Amino acid sequence: MLRRERALVAAAEIGRRIGPSRVLTDEELVASYAGDESEVPPVIPAAVVRAETSDDVVATLEVASQHEVPVTPRGAGTGKSGGAIPDHGGLVLATQRIARLKQIDRANRIAIVEPGMITGELHAAVEAEGLFYPPDPNSLESCALGGNVAENAGGPRAFKYGVTREYVLGLEAVLMGGQRLSVGRRTVKGVTGYDLTALFVGSEGTLAVFTELWLRLVPRPPRTATALALFSDAAAAGRAVAAIVAAGLTPSVLELLDEESLAAIRARGAVPVPARATALLLIEVDGEAELVELELERAAEACEAAGAVEVLVAQEASQRRALWAARRELSRSLKAAHLHKIAEDIVVPRTAVPEMIARTREIGRAHGLVVATYGHAGDGNLHSNFLWDDPSLSPEVERAVEELMRLAVEMGGTLSGEHGIGLQKAPFLAYEQSPQLIDLQRQVKAVFDPKGLLNPGKIFGRSGHGAC
């Protein structure tokens, strides 16, 4: 039987078990599950299961495994590396409708949530209780927590608080084949057995499908203050980042935007960025009110010493909101300014940020591409964007991306800080990891998914899985 036919037979059987309204085969509906927010071309699956309960997930993974049909799990589809693209066809398993907030436990500082819950909604719910869930990917208004955990998402606040992995105590998951698994703990401490929770976080949907997440919370910081440090060149802004950290300060956010990124923000007109700035640091400090003022002042001094032309402190909550709206929209603003855009998210040691920005610009220039670099500079995590309008430049883009990947690794860095490897960066995995390490990870994958049916093609590339 052909691969697509096999998938449709499996979809029909799943429909009989969980209810046909939860299984989509209509071409138009199914097509809306073909892509994500990366530049990887969409692939239309044979069918989509819109699971509403964990039993639906069990049924899907059991039946798909029996029929040897690949399954691509999907949260809200906001991923940036092609992780939710069903490039082997088969079924998409959408968990967006398994989205309850089950519990916020203030005394134990834990939230129990289902994977489809939107990240920003969890923020609002826990903050209303005086608590805080720090991971804040910029798509927080639309991304789902299950996807955040699958990708080990970061965001601006990762500089002070760390990434998603630091907040996942444990979870419930279903393996390909339909076996349920509880992993980890609901306590603050716990070292029983291997740390499979840490393995599942960031596994990009290749090991299991999550049905419940046990998330660690912290107290909500009483006050947050925001400043913009303006620079006349990006290297100086990069040096200021290292100077702030060397001064012993830990702002919650240290975001850098270069000239091209500022141009995109100016073009949108939402925030007045002074014309004298050709690079900017967005700095945020949170904590007790008295300390916040002091720390922001010291960060401003470090910026001035590194060559800032001016440091502006946001006086009103509305200014802060406007700044964040502009920052969160930056990826879309850049997309609006050019016909084509490819975004990377390499990480280098933070002291290497100025050199990385300069060398990325050189790579772009050599290939005739516009470069916009921005991102979580405090973590050395830069979104290096290549932008172009002439489609004939595509081969140049490929070469530029390859050079960028090699350079990041050469400079002591890594291919991805928060978007994952997915399909987009799979061809570069070997730049960073040894053949032995890649092989060991493939073996780990095979323990959980011996037939290679769960999210095939991701991380290791197309040849990495024996699916279909």
234 closest CA partner among 319, 397, 368, 359: 359
Residues 272-311 that bind ligand 2HG (CB under 6 A): none
Q: Does 261 bind ligand 2HG (CB under 6 A)?
A: no
Q: Does 81 bind ligand 2HG (CB under 6 A)?
A: no
Rounded to the nearest whole angstrom, what is the least distance from the CB of residue 77 to ligand 2HG in the complex? 14
Residue 80 DSSP label: S
Question: Token pair for residue 159?
Answer: 């500089």
DSSP, collapsed to helix, strand or coil, labels residue 235 as helix
Rounded to the nearest whole angstrom, what is the least distance from the CB of residue 138 to ligand 2HG in the complex? 4
Q: Which of 6, 80, 361, 451 binds ligand 2HG (CB under 6 A)?
A: 80
**186 backbone dihedrals φ, ψ, rounded to 5°:** -115, 10
CA dist list (Å): 172 to 135, 175, 187, 200, 376: 20, 10, 15, 10, 31
Q: Does 78 bind ligand 2HG (CB under 6 A)?
A: no
Q: Does 465 bind ligand 2HG (CB under 6 A)?
A: no
Q: Which of 116, 375, 380, 464 binds ligand 2HG (CB under 6 A)?
A: 375
Rounded to the nearest whole angstrom, what is the least distance from the CB of residue 18 to ligand 2HG in the complex? 34
Rounded to the nearest whole angstrom, what is the least distance from the CB of residue 377 to ligand 2HG in the complex? 11
CB atoms within 10 A of CB 436: 8
Q: How far apart are CA 381 and CA 241, in angstroms?
A: 12
Are the beta carbons of 416 and 432 closer than 8 angstroms? no
Counting residues that bind ligand 2HG (by CB under 6 A) gives: 8
Are the beta carbons of 51 and 98 closer than 8 angstroms? yes
Q: Which is nearer to ligand 2HG, 117 or 326 (CB)?
A: 326
Q: Does 71 bind ligand 2HG (CB under 6 A)?
A: no
Residues 82-141 that bind ligand 2HG (CB under 6 A): 138
Q: Does 6 bind ligand 2HG (CB under 6 A)?
A: no
Helices (H) and strands (E) in the chain, counts: 16, 19
Residue 42 DSSP label: P
Q: Does 157 bind ligand 2HG (CB under 6 A)?
A: no
Rounded to the nearest whole angstrom, what is the least distance from the CB of residue 385 to ligand 2HG in the complex? 6
Q: Which is nearer to ligand 2HG, 171 or 264 (CB)?
A: 264
Are the beta carbons of 106 and 84 closer than 8 angstroms? no
Q: Does 385 bind ligand 2HG (CB under 6 A)?
A: yes
Rounded to the nearest whole angstrom, what is the least distance from the CB of residue 150 to ligand 2HG in the complex? 15
Question: Token pair for residue 113?
Answer: 């949530």
Which residues have CB under 8 Å from 43's CB, separation 6+?
34, 85, 86, 87, 89
Q: Which residues pair with residue 228 across a beta bridge?
A: 282, 312
Q: How far apart are CA 450 and CA 157, in angstroms?
A: 37
Q: Which of 383, 425, 458, 465 binds ligand 2HG (CB under 6 A)?
A: 383
Q: Which is nearer to ligand 2HG, 36 or 52 (CB)?
A: 36
Binding string, residues 314-333; x marks residues near ligand 2HG by CB under 6 A: ----------------xx--
Q: Which is nearer to ligand 2HG, 60 or 384 (CB)?
A: 384
Task: Kindly list the residues in this chain that would bind ligand 2HG in the complex (CB under 6 A).
Answer: 80, 138, 330-331, 343, 375, 383, 385
